Amino acid sequence: MSPIRIVRESGFLKAAVIGAGAFGRHHATKYRGIEGVELVAIADPSPEVRRNAPTTHGVRGVADWRELLGEVDLVSVCSPATTHSTIVRAFLNAGANVMVEKPIATSVEEADDLVTLAAKTGKVLTVGHQERFVFAHTGLLDYNEVPLEVSCWRKGPWTGRGADVSVVLDLMIHDLDLVHQLIPGKVRSVQARGRCEKSLLADDVQAAVMFENGAVARLETSRVAPERSRGMKAVYADGIVEIDFLTRSVTNTTPRALNALDVGDPLGESVTSFVESVRTGTSPLVRPEEARNALATAILVDEAWERSIRSRVRRDVVAVAAAN
């Protein structure tokens, strides 16, 4: 078992990044730009990434992330989603504070275990729902009014990233996190339909999430769309707020004042917020319990579209049998 590392109250915090893919490389760059943080290593199975680590990031590269247990105060876990739970658990047990890219895990049971472990060890655990930082700039989260209906759309061409999970856990989970910030309370029911095109899991999903308070969220997400689109529309009793995240426009007919959309550097803000939470002991903007709730709803959506496929197959079989 790796030794427990106690984070110092002063001096440099040692950081590492697990998985130096598209997001991991950016995490490494952000750590190098934060005063008082020393990036010491990158773990990645790619020999080329490890060879380039000293030149690209000025640190050593290791093949096995287990070599870093007990050596760091901070770690960003940017590996495939299906590995998140195992790696996060190991680093929390080794005394490190952890920022993990979304989703927090791939099952609610795993997420619950991580939330409990973070509380038990007293370590900071946060999740890379960077859209929360973009959304917070508008000021919409500062009001208590609950929308009657929220519509979200997030679509883009196939990149091949995140294919170890469905598009729901890969992309829609960002919007589900935002929906849960706007609509409090429990989910009553979920309906969804989807299709596979480039992977063995859903690549395009449309879902309706009904809440116990009567509000509904309608979400469309695709990683096989011909072009990018990204937006949100919230319908309130006294007006409508619509945000286009690509053109950065905000339309607001409610009486509540909102700010212009400032995309800024959400990943930089996210990593900086994580470091500050470790230093000050304050709660991060994205708490693990919130990431767990977004995951739970995402899994309900996955289960709903899978049921819709089985139901469609049964109808087709019955239709063929009747025709014969």
Domain ranges of the chain: 13-123, 132-263+299-307
Domain 132-263+299-307 has CATH 3.40.50.620: no
pLDDT at 26: 95
pLDDT at 162: 87
Could you tell me the two tokens for 184?
């409090």
pLDDT at 263: 80
**Segments of the chain with pLDDT less than 70:** 1-10, 310-324
pLDDT at 100: 98
Superfamily of structural domain 13-123: NAD(P)-binding Rossmann-like Domain (3.40.50.720)
Q: pLDDT tens digits for 16-54?
A: 999 998 889 999 999 999 999 999 999 999 999 999 999
Mean of all residue pLDDT scores within the chain: 92
pLDDT at 323: 53
Three-state SS string over the chain comes to CCCCCCCCCCCCEEEEEECCCHHHHHHHHHHHCCCCEEEEEEECCCHHHHHHHHHHCCCEEECCHHHHCCCCCEEEECCCHHHHHHHHHHHHHCCCEEEEECCCCCCHHHHHHHHHHHHHHCCCEEEECCHHHHHHCCCHHHCCCCCCEEEEEEECCCCCCCCCCCHHHHHHHHHHHHHHHHCCCCEEEEEEEEECCCCCCCCEEEEEEEECCCCEEEEEEECCCCCCEEEEEEEECCEEEEEECCCCEEEECCCCCCCCCCCCCHHHHHHHHHHHHHHHCCCCCCCHHHHHHHHHHHHHHHHHHHHHHHHHHHHHHHHHHHHC
Q: What is the pTM of this model?
A: 0.90
Question: What share of the chain in percent tops pLDDT 90?
Answer: 85
